[in-house]
């Protein structure tokens, strides 16, 4: 029987990505699965802080092994914005279209379109906290392409590819994404615990 582990998210697409990555190795539970309906406040100013706030919130209330991630897009020419504010860059949390519009407007006429996606995972395992990081470099397209993924995926082209994350299949994105890299590290850690 796989070990139950809570992923501190209500985001169904994130859960789908991570579940596809872990296969049958873990029994992944979402916040909904454990009856946690509240939105956990992300009051940190770094990815590490926000991931840690979310994992501690779940562990302190439910006493379950859990992990949380905080991810974001960092655009070099925008002084690494939107960064930790990626989900609410244009003001309204989760308005992906407005967020992409703001990034594209900020880069209007820019020759440097380098960017990277970063994920930090905070895992609380048997009361101990562990961090895992994943990063993928790329560039920001001048316009959207593709309908898959979520967030900034339609404007982010990963290094070495000529398509955006939103044009990739879930399987392809899951092999190279920032979250996939961080999850690989988390899975390797958990495999060493058994």
Q: Is 86 annotated as a binding residue?
A: no
User: Is residue 70 among the annotated active site residues?
Assistant: yes
Beta carbons within 8 Å of 10's beta carbon, 6+ residues apart:
30, 31, 32, 39
Q: Residues 60, 69, 70, 101: which is the catalytic one?
A: 70
135 annotated to a ligand binding site: no
Determine whether the annotation assigns residue 122 to a binding site. no
Do residues 68 and 133 touch, judged by C-beta distance below 8 A?
Answer: no
Is 10 annotated to bind ligand?
A: yes
Residue 144: is the preceding peptide bond cis (ω within 30°)?
no
SS3 label, residue 118 = strand
Residue 114 marked ligand-binding = no
Determine whether the annotation assigns residue 14 to a binding site: yes
Query: Is position 178 annotated in a ligand binding site?
Result: yes
Helix, strand, coil distribution of the chain in percent, nearest 5: 40, 25, 35
User: Is 54 annotated as belonging to a binding site?
Assistant: no
Q: 149 — alpha (psi -120 to 50), left (phi > 0) or beta? A: left
Q: Is the dihedral of CA 86, 88, 94, 99 positive or negative?
A: negative
Task: Please tell me whether 39 is known to bind a ligand.
Answer: no
Looking at the annotation, which residues are catalytic? Answer: 70
Residue list for the binding site for Mg(2+): 70
Binding residues: 9-14, 70-71, 150-153, 173, 178-179
Q: Which residues are annotated as a binding site for substrate?
A: 9-14, 71, 150-153, 173, 178-179
């Amino acid at each position: 029987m796989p070990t139950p582990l809570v992923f501190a998210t209500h985001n169904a697409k994130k859960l789908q990505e991570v579940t596809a990555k872990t296969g049958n190795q873990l029994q992944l539970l979402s916040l909904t699965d454990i009856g946690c309906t509240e939105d956990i406040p992300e009051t940190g100013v770094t990815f590490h802080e926000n991931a840690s706030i979310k994992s501690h919130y779940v562990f302190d209330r439910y006493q379950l092994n859990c992990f949380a991630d905080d991810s974001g897009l960092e655009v070099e020419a925008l002084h690494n914005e939107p960064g930790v504010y990626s989900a609410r860059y244009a003001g309204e949390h989760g308005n992906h279209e407005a967020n992409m519009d703001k990034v594209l407007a900020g880069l209007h006429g820019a020759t440097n379109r380098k960017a990277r996606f970063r994920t930090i995972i905070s895992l609380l395992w048997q009361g101990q906290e562990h961090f895992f990081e994943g990063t993928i470099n790329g560039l920001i397209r001048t316009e959207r392409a593709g309908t898959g993924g979520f967030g900034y995926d339609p404007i982010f082209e990963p290094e070495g590819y000529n398509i955006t994350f939103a044009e990739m299949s879930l399987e392809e994105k899951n092999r190279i994404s920032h979250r996939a890299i961080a999850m690989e590290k988390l899975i390797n850690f958990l495999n060493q615990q058994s």
